[in-house]
Structure 1
Amino acid sequence: METLLFLFPQFNYMAPKEEAYFKMFGPEDLQAAKMKDDSRQKDKERKSRLSLFLTKSGSHENVSPLKKTNTTPSNISPEVALQWSDSFEDLLKHSDGVETFSQFLRTEFSEENIEFWLACEEYKTIDSETKLLSKAKYIYTVFIESDAPKEVNIDYDTKMAIQKTMAKPTKSCFEAAQTKIHSLMKKDSYRRFLHSDIYLSLTKKKGPGATMFRRRSRSCVFNERGEPTTAASEW
């Protein structure tokens, strides 16, 4: 009778449910369950440490000095915004341009590219060897290594070259990767940005009938659709 109550704990009202339930399993089953729980706990601890690391990264460790807001700065004039279409480099020289472009990248879930580029720009200004090492490890952990929380799209050889320098990083160790990400943004994201609602709302180009704004370009004037015209009277 004792054995029956042992195998069918639902009939043993005198024993705690948890104790009776675990007695149904053998030592091997209990060991496997314990190992599974330990593995889950380690994963949680690893994620918690990474989250704490990102939170306590400090001002010089911050990936981007820009505020991550969902609103476009309202004090940007159409004339200033139109200058950003001259070149991607002109856009990156303007703080509001970078912030607006970052907002656009967030809508495409690719904001890690501009954040990595900005982190590299800040990294090159560091003079302290201690801070340089700390910042290099941070950039590598967040953007470069496999399964990094904000891993950027660079080739294997470039990634391995960076990994080899982590023991003693130099100011140029991220240069190749930064150049590749800059080229990727320029050829891909930047072109879509110039046709996005975020950018067009700043330049007041909202479709046919909108007022044409004049801007000095290298050779022509652009109408509200972004099409070049050669009318000399527009200058």
Structure 2
Amino acid sequence: MREHLTGLTAQNMAFTDCVKPTDQPAEKKGMKRKNWRNRIGFLLKTNSPQSIMHPKRHRSQVPSGDEVNQWAQSLDKLLSHKYGKAAFRIFLKTEFCEENIEFWTACEDFKALKLQKDMTSKANKIYEEFVKNEAPKEINLDFHTKNAISQCLHEPSESSFLVAQRKIYCLMENNSYPRFIHSDLYKELCAASKGEGKYIQS
């Protein structure tokens, strides 16, 4: 669902926020839970078909209990871990706001670029996909932030998306992240990391 912010028109308001679990019918919740269980099972299998049946033998391919517990310490801890970020993206997808982490990740990739031509190409791609009005994966940004980004597309710098990335990070940190940590998905991940998850045996 799209949240309505007081004093803003529908065209200029915050475009995409997460759908709250309470807003969804029980039937969809059940389908959603089945979907993320399948995705987590695939995530934990990685590239080895043996890692689920013999988790101790393939420990390096599955996040440990300590690692999964650390994800609850901060969003930064979660996003800095390969499997943590993947699990969070699965959760955001169930809440229909995976564009937030996709944008954040795209910004991280952008900051790693060195050549100006690569930065220009990537900046325009990010703008077209996430920032401009009615973009395919439009994120929750105010007019001034969007405008500042559009003004520097011809010659972007490492800091071109910094403000926007921080805003989306805060949005995830204050809304989606707490729900993720208290979700059944995260609880099952904790159990799976200790070899206790039921779906691991399937």
Q: Hey, what's the Cα distance between the residues in 1 that align with 2:183 and 2:65?
A: 15
User: 1:78 and 1:192 mapped to 2: Cα distance?
Assistant: 20
Match of 2:99 among 109, 112, 119: 112
**Residues 1:151 and 2:119 are matched in the alignment:** no
Matched, 1:131 2:152: no
Equivalent residue number for residue 76 of structure 2: 89
CA distance in 1, matches of 2:66, 2:185: 15
Alignment partner of 1:71 is 2:39: yes
- Secondary structure of the residue aligned to 2:137 is coil
Match in the other structure for 2:28: none
Q: Identity over aligned residues, as a percent?
A: 43
**RMSD, aligned α-carbons:** 1.8
SS at match of 1:71: helix
Given the alignment, which residue of 150, 158, 161 partners 1:171? Answer: 158
The answer as to whether partners of 1:117 and 1:178 remain within 8 angstroms in 2 is yes
Which residue identity does 2:122 align to in structure 1?
K
Which protein, 1 or 2, shows the higher relative CO under an 8 Å CA cutoff with sep ≥ 6?
A: 2
TM norm structure 2: 0.65
Residue 76 of structure 1: how far off its partner (Å): 2.6
Match status 1:181 vs 2:175: no
CA offset digits 1:1-52 (Å, max 9, x no partner): xxxxxxxxxxxxxxxxxxxxxxxxxxxxxxxxxxxxxxxxxxxxxxxxxxxx
Structure 1 residue 131 displacement after superposition:
0.8
CA distance in 1, matches of 2:155, 2:117: 11
Distance 1:166 1:96 in 2: 32
1:25 corresponding residue in structure 2: none
Give the distance between the partners of 1:80 and 1:132, measured in 2 at CA.
33
- For residues 102 and 154 of structure 2, the distance between their equivalents in structure 1, rounded to whole angstroms, comes to 23
CA distance in 2, matches of 1:184, 1:70: 27
1:105-125, Cα deviation, whole Å (9 max, x unpaired): 000010000000000001001
| Alignment size in residue pairs | 138
* Partner of residue 27, structure 2: none
Q: List alignment gaps of at least 5 residues for structure 1.
A: 1-68, 211-235
| Higher radius of gyration, 1 or 2 | 1
